[in-house]
Amino acid sequence: MPLVAHNDLPAFARLNQEGVTVLSAERALNQEIRELHIGLLNMMPDAALAATERQFFRLVGEANPIAQFWVHPFTLPELPRGPEAQAYIERYYEPLDRIMADGLDALIVTGANVTGPDLAREPFWNPLTRVIDWAWANVTTTLCSCLATHAVLQFRHGQVRVPQPAKVWGVFEHRVTDKCHPLVADVNTRFDVPHSRWNDVSRAQFDAAGLRVLAESDQVGVHLATSADGFRQVFFQGHPEYDTISLLKEYKRDLSLHGEGGLRQAPPFPANYFSLREQAILDEYRARRAAAIARGETKPAFPEALVADRLDNTWHDTGEAVVAKWIGLMYQVTHRDRKLPFMAGIDPHNPLGL
């Protein structure tokens, strides 16, 4: 399933350099292969905007080669942006009205940064509910990531996420709990997923909402679930899209925030992520950094290169497999006219015949 570079979004060139197959629009239009148009509602903050594009584009582009993917990034104008990010969005992103008018085969909704405990008071709340409601009526399937999952559980099912005493942060083992569901039928029954969140929607809350839980962790709860019909909405509470160094970048950011007074306590190491060697390197860095600050000296450089090369990625293959299954199933039940989300004879309340 090659990605199609239908505009000059920098993510396409970057992924092509990394070995992901990316077709030019001219080449794609000369191939007798069905197009699939996937929206990416990117609500991430400015600094993470482009990285999030690449992470989800990579998962989509590495799926099985049965179609061409036209991925359409867009965002919500109500989200505050800096001048540079706003210029980037105006150049590369598509307006929501055009997305809705043209239609989509599938939609991915990312997480977002929040400013308070009540999601309903966030600037994205009303426009996000509008997009989700539109997608339910007009798009075959929507994949919600992390914060988007929490938002849908709240406004569609009345299940409000619960703040946790400590950040759920690290790489955790999960087990498939519904081995018959086609999204997980061919993946390892145990697999890792990164998590990074301060809030949780519990298994009991997913069950109360009538959703189907497909994979969960004894340590951090539910990762993968679907709507009651098994497919119209797919929920991630973890982050299988993360790059190998994503948690390292987040640790670096949180350490800097702590030094600037933005966090009361220095961040702990993400669970099950750094080896003892990397922990020792980072402990030494923190001690040197604290000493430099105490003496009023320049802080030492963060030892990212020393740590990054020794990190393991134990989650990408499974994340890629689940997304590939999601796309393959969507391909089977989506009408060629993407404004008609289901083919004749497909029951929208049970599209997979589960």
Which residues carry out catalysis?
Answer: 146, 239, 241
The three-state secondary structure class of 73 is strand
Indicate the angle between helix axes 246-259 and 276-295, nearest 10 degrees. Answer: 20
Torsions phi, psi for 44 (to 5 deg): -70, 155
Decide: residue 127, CB within 10 A, 0-12 exposed, 13-18 middle, 19+ buried: middle
Contact 97, 28 (CB under 8 A): no
Task: Tell me the two tokens of residue 1.
Answer: 């399933």
Indicate the angle between helix axes 49-61 and 10-17, nearest 10 degrees. Answer: 50
**Alpha-helical runs (H) found in 38-146:** 49-61, 83-92, 96-102, 125-138
Contact 210, 349 (CB under 8 A): no
